[in-house]
Structure 1
Amino acid sequence: MSEWVSTRLGDVTSQVQELVKVASGTEYPLLGVKWYAEGPFLREVVTSETSKATRFYRVQPGQFIYNRLFAWKGSFGLVGEDLAGSYVSNEFPLFDCDRTRLLPEFLSLHFGQRSVWSYVARVSTGTTASRNRWKESQFNDYEIALPSTAEQRRIVDVMAAVDAQVNALGAEKRRAASLLALVRNAYPEGTECALSSVVSSIQGGKSVQASDEKPQFGEPAVLKLSAIQLGSFVASEAKRLDDLTGYTDAHRVEEGDLLITRASGSFDRVGYATIARNVAPQTYLPDLIWRIQTKPEVCSTTFLAHLLCSPSVRSMITSSARGTASMRKINKALLGSLRLPIPSSEEQSKYVRQCDAVASEVEALDLELADLRAFRSALLASLLNQEIEIPEAYDALLEEVS
């Protein structure tokens, strides 16, 4: 195995600041950088009339970019060809790599690791956690273990092949999810009823201060909002609950419960509904999640769950949400006033079977995608920790294929 050399980034990269003064009548496409190493994206287009900025910095394809404010969230990536001609503010440093020693794609892979984000979070500085910055001087002083550029290229190529599989599977899942939305939206006609007339209760949880630590199996836990996805339940999204004061059996989540989020910091996530599955014992409801109990002789729980996830009903729910930009909420009166078509029990069962068939395919793809992403993460860590070496024979193989 060849020797990897610990190298200061300032010795193999150079910051680029192509300053452009804002001119009247000119549009400036501004980039942001997504969290979790998902890379740069076109955030907005501004002019001198819509922005107070007096200058921006032009970006070029192939440059490494990060967000100083959210580096601790993994806000790193490479500028792609599709973003040529875009601009950034000074909160988004840009760097060129000395390609004789460091490939930008290899650098991007390195900063795609959660262990690196954790390090950046520890050393970022600011007056508050939300204003923490990882400054350019810290980037320059950061040391990275570098193999030869030939080895870097092998690692980049292997990870690109894995990423292609991740992207293909992700696209397949999105197609299945789109089909599920269509199937859910094709609900049968029925007697239009207020939601309040087909449910026996809408029960809330309890507000509690809990650590972010995940519970061990069997330990009391309270659900996080992220446990409730659109039509799917993530049982592992829970926080350990050290104090059960005020909680009763009425707050406990049971298998098969229909749950709905009554508030969210994200507008389109308000009113997410799902059936609780594989619930760990002693799991409790927080105050931002409701349990809806239907009148079984009128409406089945699974029918209502799929109906609440249909695009047209989702639109009614989100349009009824109230609150601030940082927290949108629905209340029981507004939710209960929603008028929904309630068909016969036979038609409900037929609709549920159709939705469940597609939903099971989406769930299977989701699990496969999660496994593939876990494999990608483990593979990347093993390659960058020199636990796995790609032999030089790989180069000859590529030449034969090409």
Structure 2
Amino acid sequence: MNEWRYLPAGKIARQRREVVRLESGVQYRTMGVRWYGKGAYDRGVATTETVKAKVLYRARQGDFTFNRIDTQKGAFDVVAAGLDGALATNEFPLYEVDPEQMDANFLILHFQQPDVLRRIGAVRAGSEGRARWKEDDFEAWTVPVPPLDVQARIIEVVRAVDKQIAALDAEATALTAVLRCFRAHLITGLDTPVVRADQAFEITMGRQRAPKYAAGPYMTPYLRSANVGYGALNLSDVLEMNFDPTEREVFGLVPGDVLVSEGSASHSAVGMSAMWRGELPEPICFQKTLMRFRAIRGVSIPAFVNHWCQWAYESGTFLDIAGGTNIKHITAMRAVRMPVQLPDVATQEQIADQLDAVSDVVVAARAEALRLRSLRLGLLSGLLDRTIEIESAG
């Protein structure tokens, strides 16, 4: 295999400073770089009244750029044609990459590696919350420089995986839109009796968090609003507090319970719900930032409760009943009075079976995309540390 070199980034990239001095009354198009690999984006129009800087720098297509703030969150990109000519502050330094040594898109791949981002996080300079990875840090950073034809082949392989991930994401998004429409039709389109929510479901508010529960003989994992996403639970960060045996009975979760986010500063999160499926060992409880919707035997079934709560979130019904100005709260008092079109149990089962079938396809597409993202990380790491050998594109 051809020889790889390892050079400071400053040897293959040169900072380009095309200075633009802002003038009063003139509008300027600006750009920035988002975290988490979301890349460069149009920040809109700026004037001397909306930006503090008196000098900005003009970006050109093909420039390598990054966000100096929280760089460890993956804020790197190559300026696309659509941003050619946009202006950037000094928080987004711009570099011309020597095309005889490196493809700027290959440099992006190096900075997408989790281990590289962790190391960047360890060396950033500055006060907490404003730490930066500056130009000197970038220029001193050692990067692999394989022959250009090998770079091209690696870019080609990784892009093939990215293309498949994008296709799966698009499929899941389209299927989710279909599911939402189908769910609204089945939940609201039947000629069924309307009852209060507390006649259809058992609705319970979680236990208030307080310092006195921070320690005790019955420390118990509990879920909070941060654990509830759109139709899915995030169990990567589950906290504990003391729930005595009686409280465990009252606030304990059983498979089939549906957790609804009771309030949030973000209106898009109010009423977000997900079903508890027994993912963690019992006992596990829930905090007051959540409400528990539980099926009533002979009246409702868990799968219908789950889809009803999903519909109430998607339709904005939960948000409509929420009180408050900046931080919206549903509260159990409001939730129990919500009208529910409640079919008989047999019809609920039919509705749930149809919706679950579509939901399963959505989940499968998202799971496959997640699997490919994991595979991509391993592939990228192997290609760049040369544990996976690859020949040139030719």
- Which TM-score band (shorter chain)? 0.7 to 0.9
Which residue number in structure 2 is paired with residue 200 of structure 1?
Answer: 202
Question: Measured at CA, do residues 135 and 51 of structure 1 come closer, stay the same or move farther in structure 2, by a change above 3 Å?
Answer: closer
Tell me, in whole angstroms, the C-alpha distance in 1 between the residues paired with 2:331 and 2:111.
Answer: 42
Which residue number in structure 2 is paired with residue 345 of structure 1?
Answer: 345
Q: How does 1:299-378 map to 2 (within 5 A)?
A: 299-310=300-311, 314-321=315-322, 329-378=329-378
Which residue number in structure 2 is paired with residue 138 of structure 1?
Answer: 137
Question: Measured at CA, do residues 321 and 25 of structure 1 come closer, stay the same or move farther in structure 2, by a change above 3 Å?
Answer: farther
Which residue number in structure 2 is paired with residue 293 of structure 1?
Answer: 294
Letter in 2 for 1:308: C
Letter in 1 for 2:236: E
Which deviations, in whole Å up to 9, do the C-alpha atoms of 1:115-150 show, x marking residues without a partner?
A: 11111111112221x222111111111111221122
Which residue number in structure 2 is paired with residue 383 of structure 1?
Answer: 383
Question: Measured at CA, do residues 21 and 342 of structure 1 come closer, stay the same or move farther in structure 2, by a change above 3 Å?
Answer: farther
Question: Measured at CA, do residues 222 and 150 of structure 1 come closer, stay the same or move farther in structure 2, by a change above 3 Å?
Answer: farther
Report if aligned partners of 2:60, 2:84 keep a CA contact under 8 Å in 1.
yes
Report if aligned partners of 2:78, 2:108 keep a CA contact under 8 Å in 1.
yes
Which is worse superposed, 269-278 or 172-181? 269-278
Which residue number in structure 2 is paired with residue 254 of structure 1?
Answer: 254
Deviation at residue 239 of structure 1 after TM alignment: 3.1
Percent of paired sites with the same residue: 29
Which residue number in structure 2 is paired with residue 158 of structure 1?
Answer: 157
Tell me, in whole angstroms, the C-alpha distance in 2 between the residues paired with 1:286 and 1:329.
Answer: 14
Which deviations, in whole Å up to 9, do the C-alpha atoms of 1:332-386 show, x marking residues without a partner?
A: 2333343343334344333222211110100111111111111111000000111
Report if aligned partners of 1:205, 1:290 keep a CA contact under 8 Å in 2.
no
Report if aligned partners of 2:256, 2:294 keep a CA contact under 8 Å in 1.
no
Letter in 2 for 1:98: D
Report if aligned partners of 1:220, 1:281 keep a CA contact under 8 Å in 2.
no
Report if aligned partners of 1:228, 1:261 keep a CA contact under 8 Å in 2.
yes
Deviation at residue 113 of structure 1 after TM alignment: 1.3
Question: Measured at CA, do residues 21 and 338 of structure 1 come closer, stay the same or move farther in structure 2, by a change above 3 Å?
Answer: farther
Deviation at residue 18 of structure 1 after TM alignment: 2.3
Which residue number in structure 2 is paired with residue 214 of structure 1?
Answer: none
Which residue number in structure 1 is paired with residue 107 of structure 2?
Answer: 107
Deviation at residue 252 of structure 1 after TM alignment: 3.5
TM-score normalised by L of structure 1: 0.84
Which is worse superposed, 144-153 or 50-59? 50-59
Helix, strand or coil for the counterpart of 1:391? Answer: coil
Report if aligned partners of 2:205, 2:332 keep a CA contact under 8 Å in 1.
no
Deviation at residue 208 of structure 1 after TM alignment: 7.6
Report if aligned partners of 1:224, 1:237 keep a CA contact under 8 Å in 2.
no
Which residue number in structure 2 is paired with residue 60 of structure 1?
Answer: 60
Letter in 1 for 2:197: L
Question: Measured at CA, do residues 4 and 318 of structure 1 come closer, stay the same or move farther in structure 2, by a change above 3 Å?
Answer: farther
Tell me, in whole angstroms, the C-alpha distance in 1 between the residues paired with 2:56 and 2:325.
Answer: 31
Tell me, in whole angstroms, the C-alpha distance in 2 between the residues paired with 1:126 and 1:265.
Answer: 29
Report if aligned partners of 1:36, 1:112 keep a CA contact under 8 Å in 2.
no
Question: Measured at CA, do residues 382 and 356 of structure 1 come closer, stay the same or move farther in structure 2, by a change above 3 Å?
Answer: same
Which deviations, in whole Å up to 9, do the C-alpha atoms of 1:86-107 show, x marking residues without a partner?
A: 2222221221111111211011
Which is worse superposed, 246-255 or 114-123? 246-255
Question: Measured at CA, do residues 280 and 328 of structure 1 come closer, stay the same or move farther in structure 2, by a change above 3 Å?
Answer: same
Q: How does 1:162-173 map to 2 (within 5 A)?
A: 162-173=161-172
Question: Measured at CA, do residues 178 and 384 of structure 1 come closer, stay the same or move farther in structure 2, by a change above 3 Å?
Answer: same
Helix, strand or coil for the counterpart of 1:200? Answer: strand
Q: Is the counterpart of residue 78 in structure 1 residue 68 in structure 2?
A: no
TM-score normalised by L of structure 2: 0.86
Which is worse superposed, 69-78 or 85-94? 85-94
Deviation at residue 2 of structure 1 after TM alignment: 3.3
Unaligned runs of 5+ in 1: 210-218, 396-402
Helix, strand or coil for the counterpart of 1:232? Answer: coil
Which residue number in structure 2 is paired with residue 40 of structure 1?
Answer: 40
Tell me, in whole angstroms, the C-alpha distance in 2 between the residues paired with 1:230 and 1:164.
Answer: 25
Deviation at residue 328 of structure 1 after TM alignment: 5.1
Which deviations, in whole Å up to 9, do the C-alpha atoms of 1:1-57 show, x marking residues without a partner?
A: 333222111111112222223345544333332222221122333344555554432
Which deviations, in whole Å up to 9, do the C-alpha atoms of 1:206-265 show, x marking residues without a partner?
A: 5389xxxxxxxxx9644464542222334x434364x64658423433221111122445
Helix, strand or coil for the counterpart of 1:178? Answer: helix
Report if aligned partners of 1:33, 1:75 keep a CA contact under 8 Å in 2.
yes
Question: Measured at CA, do residues 376 and 317 of structure 1 come closer, stay the same or move farther in structure 2, by a change above 3 Å?
Answer: same
Tell me, in whole angstroms, the C-alpha distance in 1 between the residues paired with 2:12 and 2:118.
Answer: 23
Report if aligned partners of 1:183, 1:354 keep a CA contact under 8 Å in 2.
no
Which deviations, in whole Å up to 9, do the C-alpha atoms of 1:166-220 show, x marking residues without a partner?
A: 11111111111111111112123434444344332313145389xxxxxxxxx96
Report if aligned partners of 1:203, 1:292 keep a CA contact under 8 Å in 2.
no
Question: Measured at CA, do residues 158 and 380 of structure 1 come closer, stay the same or move farther in structure 2, by a change above 3 Å?
Answer: same
Report if aligned partners of 2:220, 2:243 keep a CA contact under 8 Å in 1.
no
Report if aligned partners of 1:222, 1:286 keep a CA contact under 8 Å in 2.
yes
Which residue number in structure 2 is paired with residue 9 of structure 1?
Answer: 9
Tell me, in whole angstroms, the C-alpha distance in 1 between the residues paired with 2:158 and 2:379.
Answer: 8
Unaligned runs of 5+ in 2: 212-218
Question: Measured at CA, do residues 314 and 133 of structure 1 come closer, stay the same or move farther in structure 2, by a change above 3 Å?
Answer: farther
Q: Give the superposed CA RMSD.
A: 2.8
Report if aligned partners of 1:271, 1:314 keep a CA contact under 8 Å in 2.
no
